[in-house]
Chain A
Amino acid sequence: MNKEAMELASEEEVEVENLNPLTAMQSVKGYLTKLEELTFMQILFSSSATIRRGNFGLSRKEVERLLEIGNDEHAFQSFLKRVNGAVSRYMKVIYDKQRNQVVALMRVPAKQARNVLSKESLAILMFIFYHQEVLQNEYTLFSQLIQSFGHESLQITRKIQANLDPLKKIGAIDDYDDNKGEDAYQLTAIGAHLFSDSYLRRYTEFSQSNQLHLEDVIRFFKRYNLKGDIADDPLET
């Protein structure tokens, strides 16, 4: 897909001027050693703007305006595909249909990733992720979180609330109105993309006490359809 996207990109370069600096980033790979590459990514990460709630991403309309395309599904998807083709090693651009937001996600290497969220936040997000992506629940109730993590420490209600907050700020989960007056949360596209494939694999390996194939892990977390169509998965009908 990568190569194809590159070709597409050069064909339409004139049309989408913004693409130029992004395609240039791809060549970075050829110039740097792996260590230098890691460093570069860390610089990018530390230089990015502070993340504030609701202050990331653009609406699809805004993107279309910038691209000077109308409500053209094909042109929009093609743009996403090409951008992702060019910078996939460092960033990806996802479109969250539900929230109507186009968000750029940056790849944070393992060493820096633990500065993003606390270990408790990550555990909570992993639970919600599993609960909604694998078990296909529409939302996760606060009481379910309490039930799962409650026996681990004191002051659990406050602790979970405090660790849910950064998840909301980063846009990984959203409040969900279940019409029953209970606190509920729904995973957003950001939340669904936050864990890298490698992380999911290591995490699952620890849980199973066995090594695993990456493809099996991806299939387990129903990630295959994030990258393309469901048809990509040979076992799915």
Chain B
Amino acid sequence: MQQTKRTLRRALPMLLLLAGVLLLSACGEQPMVLDPKGPIASDQKDLILISSLLCAVILFPVLGLTAYIVWKYREREGSTAAYEPHFSHSTKLELIWWGIPILIIIILAAVTARYTYALEPTKPIESEKKAITIQATSLDWKWLFTYPEQGIATVNYLQIPEDVPVKFELTSDAPMNSFWIPQLGGQMYTMSGMGMTLFLQADHEGRYYGSGANFSGEYFGDMKFFVDVKPQSQFDAWVQEVKASPEKLTNDSYEKLAEKGTSPVVLYSSFPEGLFQRIVTKYAPGGHAHGQHNEPTPQSKTDPVQQPLPDAKEDHTQGGSTGTDHSGHTGH
């Protein structure tokens, strides 16, 4: 009885893992992260699988060895297993179990380094099509998306064209949050006084889940949204539709929107010029004083406020706007 229980327990973690895997495949529906719909998420999934495999190389032998040793050397009547109470050192064995993990970690480190540079979020995605720019601002407790090239704005809803790289510019006008669309790629923090860049792309039409992943107060759980990926033509039609809608985002209505509270999906036909830049530079003394810096990597651990902010000029050079920019875009 006791022994059956022991065997069971040892097998339990593996059974559960197995059950989990079965569950995943049986449902036919992959969990979001393992069901990528864009190049970034797809690379990240590959990396997750590679690193899992490298870990499994150690994990399963160790689990097997544990089960074997515990079973074989258990104290019982008439045990024939060897007993060597002073066997406590073996340079050869030690070399093996220091050496193999070192080897695996070196491989994993190399893979990680390669992917880290390849998947650097500020790196534009290679594509024949020009990237569109969308600015995402986390508020208490809703997402404001502004489309500088299209001149429209949305709350808690995104629509993007299929197969077109999207340059997300991220900031916050509330406590820090994190912008995450699991099926398109990993998340990025949104922080007040900072403009972050995250390139994503969707390869397939569909509706994907996105959320604010970092806790930011009372109703942070309501900061979720859906991303509709549509062919370019349908996307353009949607833009026109939104532009025709009566709702406009003005400075006053932005102030109202930024107040604490949740919000349903709202579509705005226009938004105030340079709104995003104003949010980013809100806390910098002298407002927009840092516009002269233009590097597309506004990241630094130590000195955020003084970092370059993605100003309007950058939208042209990086975002590749195609002359469709309207009220939302700072003119030059």
User: Are A and B physically bound partners?
Assistant: no
